[in-house]
Amino acid sequence: MIQKQDIHKIIEPILEEKKAFLVDLKISKDNRIAVYIDSMDGITIDDCVEVSRRIEKSLDRDQEDFELEVSTPGLTSEFKVPEQYKKYLNKEVQVLAKDGKKYQGTLLNISDRGIEIEVEKQVKKQGKKKKETVRENLNIDFSMINATKPKLSF
């Protein structure tokens, strides 16, 4: 069976050369290899094809048969690595906290401990009939986050 560390050794220099990063790597028991990559500037189909071909050249099908897929994680996928948070700085994200609360806002900051997002809330001000939109910054520790995704706007 092909090992993750073997694939890591193959793709690290390729990703470094492309200024890309590994989001996820999955290898099933029947040697189906799924490599998910991204970069701050985005990944094209041609990038995926090139990475796939270079991985395939480094593996020997005569020694062990495998199936290989190289792609991006997709716009609706949850963030898995810190680089994805960095890519979405100053962009809209959706955060699902472990307590079930959902937050939607602009990702302002990332630290080793968590993230800071700016959310909008409707608040009724004293002496006024209408609610007003108020912006508030929230700090959320990574330990409290169940999932973070980019917010898609159309």
56 and 112 housed in the same domain: no
Q: The domain containing residue 119 runs over which residues?
A: 82-150
Residues 57 and 87 in one domain: no
Pick from 14, 60, 58, 59: nearest CA to 37:
14
Same domain, 146 and 86: yes
Task: Give the number of domains in the chain.
Answer: 2
Do the domain assignments include residue 57? yes
Please name the residues in contact with 137: beta carbons below 8 A apart, sequence gap of 6 or more: 108, 116, 117, 118, 119
Listed residue (114, 119, 117) closest to 143, CA to CA: 114
pLDDT tens-digit readout, 94-125: 999 999 999 999 999 999 999 999 999 888 87
The answer to whether residue 76 is domain-embedded is no
Q: Which of 47, 71, 95 is the last residue of a domain?
A: 71
Angle of the 4-18 helix axis to the 45-58 helix axis, nearest 10:
140
Calculate the CA 16 to chain-centre distance: 18
How open is the CA angle 5-10-12, to the nearest 5 degrees?
Answer: 90
* pLDDT tens per residue, range 18-61: 999 999 999 999 999 999 999 999 999 999 999 999 999 999 98
